[in-house]
Structure 1
Amino acid sequence: MTTTTEQEIAKLVSASTKLTEEVALQKDRLTGAANIATTKASESASHAQKATEEAAKAVQISGLDTVDAALAAREGEFVGNAVSNATGSRMKQILDANGNYNTMVSIPCFTFDDIGMADLLGTGVHPAFLRQDASIIPEIWVGAYTASNKSNKAVVQGGADPWNTINFDDAKAKCAEMGSGWHMITAMEWSAVSLWCLANGFQPDGNTEYGRNHAKKFQSCKRMDGKAPNDRTGTPRGLCGTGPDSWRHDGTPFGISDLVGNVWEWIDGFKLVDNKFHVASYSGQPEADWTATDIGITSGSGGAWGSSTLSGSDPILKQMLIEQVDATKTLEGGLWFNAVGERLPFRGGFWYDGSNCGLAALSLSFGRSARGSGVGCRPAFIAV
């Protein structure tokens, strides 16, 4: 028969055994947790090392001193990817040789048949999309805004004050300085954008009355002087792209802005010399090689572009929107010219030209050295 003492000893042994097992179990759990923590710490260290190596690589590739600087330098690329991937967007940021990102809009190649004007303007591809060797340019990238001045370099950037008080030769040089394929917009490229608008039944509005539109007075932009729309003091030049979507060539946020009004834009590719037109045969042709015609302007200065007359007719002048045809007479804008000496063109109109502003607005009143607070330029780009 088991005594009370033996029973108590047995209970103690059993309890001791259970305690030993529990201690062992807790030890195993702690060991496992410690192993997991060690593994996580090792993984974190590995990730940290990798991040450090990638950061160092970013700094090395960019040539900048810090990771923040390297990331800031790529901000335009990040924004550009976001914009170009937006539904319906043909806008993207393009890096130039000066290290600046530029907001550009694609105008895809089209023929005169595509826009229903083959019987009036010719057949085949619009000349803006033809290289010197007659090969086709798939698309032209046109500045979404007029150029602004960034450290004496041209850049296409929204919200900036348009570069102004720049003459023809300087404007052309600043656009070319942006690198291979970059240039100041040509007469044929301006024509391509304008005819695209006509074919789509749309003509953009713009800053035509001191920071607002003369006909739709509720449409306004941010003036560079910070004053209210239609304030007749100060400088009512609008900051690039700050007007409504109706001020863009396609009526969308992804269109080409400020083609109408705000500042006149120097145009490359033709000029008037002693009232005779000289025209380029292709984009980028040296000015000395432009073809001299015997055609000049006989009437229309100070009036609507559609009412002007020329002394002759030429297919290139029609395609450049210098000579009118029935389909293009509906383009809005006035005409000014001086028949004496060399006169270089600018188009689009000025912030107080009212109804004389428009895609067809054309001034041939000034020489290449002219400068003014209402004259700027617009870069374009063709991939080589």
Structure 2
Amino acid sequence: TDLGAIVRSLVDLGIGVHPAFVTNGAPRGEILVGKYLASSAAGGSAVIGGPQPRTSVNYDTAKQLCTQKGDNWHLMSIHEWAAIALWSFANGTVPRGNTNYGRSHEAKWETARRADNGLPGDTSGTGRTDTGKGPATWNHDHTEFGVCDLVGNVWEWIDQMKLDDGQILTTLDNNPAVAEANWHRHPAYFDSTSDNQSGAGSNGSPVLSNSVTKRNGPADDDSHDYPHMLNPHFAAITKSDGYTPNELLRRLLIESATTTTVGGGLWCRNYGDRFPLRGGNWGNGSGAGLGALGLNNARSYSHSSIGFRPAFFV
């Protein structure tokens, strides 16, 4: 699949094949992405509609549950997520989802059954919904055949990207075989406007920069004991004067040349190793979205609001 025509219709994303469809420099024709979030049946990573998504697993467990399904199975990558998001944006089918405790915060009549059988919109209890049981507008193409629950419901662990003390690392194309130690270090960092290291609240919006000048916790510290940064729209963060725009990061929806793009907030810590979550959860409201990117958490973190999605190379 060549996303060139779609990419050319967007702003500053270049031309040609999206990196989701390139592995080790060679183009591939097809990727199968789980229509549903992983659930606990059939070895712990089934892709079926109806059950609750599997949650409370950390990054490494999510990755292992996908790869142990067999050859060519892998945890959905930063490349694959962005390709689907850009397709939806280009085709006018950006999905809504469970962003308000069992309903869409944008269209409150759009609902699905909650894990606790609670009322849509009731902020008590667990507002997670069954996989694929929302309306078609919660799917990436607004049809019953689309990829479900990308926006809201639960955050999704994503592979082939991380922050290392604020520096952005990714694979250069969609290749889960590349060892983490060999991921590319981009000359791109999330800097802070404050060097405050007290408390665990927000220190304001991150800044895309060519270096870190202010760090909100000790370098190499993977804890969650110090402040984080937040901007309610990932595309609205400031870029420092010395920052060089990065086309690959734009293609991966980590950077943006315009705020006229998919929505979703950006959370990050620029100390320690941080692994990506995308999409948002049931309580994030407008902070959820195809552009939502959580870079707050260490690889060992798990929570009932975090799941994952397998993908497969044909």
Question: Smaller-chain TM-score range?
Answer: 0.7 to 0.9
Show the counterpart of 1:356. Answer: 287
Is contact 1:147-1:163 (8 Å) kept?
yes
Give percent identity, aligned residues only: 41
Please report the RMSD computed on the Cα atoms of aligned residues, expressed in angstroms.
1.6
Q: How does 1:31-180 map to 2 (within 5 A)?
A: 109-117=1-9, 120-132=12-24, 134-150=25-41, 152-180=43-71
Show the counterpart of 1:369. Answer: 300
Rg (Cα) greater in structure: 1
Alpha-carbon distance in 1 for matches of 2:188, 2:153: 31
- Matching of residue 294 in structure 1 with residue 187 in structure 2: yes
Show the counterpart of 1:341. Answer: 272
How far residue 233 of structure 1 moved from its aligned partner, in angstroms, is: 2.3
Q: How does 1:282-321 map to 2 (within 5 A)?
A: 282=173, 283-284=175-176, 285-298=178-191, 299-300=205-206, 301-311=230-240, 312=243, 313-321=245-253
How far residue 318 of structure 1 moved from its aligned partner, in angstroms, is: 1.2
**Letter paired with 1:376:** G
Q: Residues 218, 169 of structure 1: CA spacing in aligned structure 2 closer, same or farther, 3 A cutoff? A: same
- Pick the aligned partner of 2:105 from 195, 209, 214: 214
**Letter paired with 1:353:** N
Alpha-carbon distance in 2 for matches of 1:119, 1:215: 26
Q: Residues 297, 117 of structure 1: CA spacing in aligned structure 2 closer, same or farther, 3 A cutoff? A: farther
Find the residue that maps to 2:26 and give its secondary structure. coil
Provide TM-score, normalisation by structure 2. Answer: 0.83
**Letter paired with 1:367:** A
Show the counterpart of 1:104. Answer: none
Q: Residues 119, 224 of structure 1: CA spacing in aligned structure 2 closer, same or farther, 3 A cutoff? A: closer
Find the residue that maps to 2:151 and give its secondary structure. coil
Show the counterpart of 1:250. Answer: 141
Alpha-carbon distance in 1 for matches of 2:14, 2:279: 25
Find the residue that maps to 2:27 and give its secondary structure. coil
- Pick the aligned partner of 2:257 from 319, 325, 328: 325
Higher RCO (CA-CA < 8 Å; seq separation 6+): 2
Is contact 2:7-2:16 (8 Å) kept?
no
Is contact 2:11-2:257 (8 Å) kept?
no
The superposition leaves residues 23-76 of structure 1 with CA deviations (integer Å, 9 ceiling, x where unpaired) of xxxxxxxxxxxxxxxxxxxxxxxxxxxxxxxxxxxxxxxxxxxxxxxxxxxxxx
Alpha-carbon distance in 1 for matches of 2:276, 2:6: 28
Is contact 2:37-2:309 (8 Å) kept?
yes
Show the counterpart of 1:204. Answer: 95
Is contact 1:297-1:309 (8 Å) kept?
no
Show the counterpart of 1:11. Answer: none
Alpha-carbon distance in 2 for matches of 1:171, 1:249: 22
How far residue 329 of structure 1 moved from its aligned partner, in angstroms, is: 3.8
Is contact 1:116-1:199 (8 Å) kept?
no
Is contact 2:98-2:151 (8 Å) kept?
yes
Is contact 1:279-1:290 (8 Å) kept?
yes
Provide TM-score, normalisation by structure 1. Answer: 0.68
Q: Structure 1 regions of 5+ residues with no counterpart?
A: 1-108
How far residue 310 of structure 1 moved from its aligned partner, in angstroms, is: 4.3
The superposition leaves residues 170-189 of structure 1 with CA deviations (integer Å, 9 ceiling, x where unpaired) of 00110111111110110110
How far residue 302 of structure 1 moved from its aligned partner, in angstroms, is: 3.5
Is contact 2:7-2:13 (8 Å) kept?
no
**Letter paired with 2:168:** F
**Letter paired with 1:181:** N
Q: Structure 2 regions of 5+ residues with no counterpart?
A: 192-204, 207-229
The superposition leaves residues 245-275 of structure 1 with CA deviations (integer Å, 9 ceiling, x where unpaired) of 0000000000000000000001111111111
Alpha-carbon distance in 1 for matches of 2:295, 2:11: 28
Find the residue that maps to 1:278 and give its secondary structure. strand
The superposition leaves residues 4-36 of structure 1 with CA deviations (integer Å, 9 ceiling, x where unpaired) of xxxxxxxxxxxxxxxxxxxxxxxxxxxxxxxxx
Alpha-carbon distance in 1 for matches of 2:33, 2:140: 11
Alpha-carbon distance in 2 for matches of 1:246, 1:119: 25
Is contact 2:38-2:44 (8 Å) kept?
no
**Letter paired with 1:381:** F
Alpha-carbon distance in 2 for matches of 1:262, 1:119: 29
**Letter paired with 2:306:** V
Deviates more, 1:296-305 or 1:243-252: 296-305
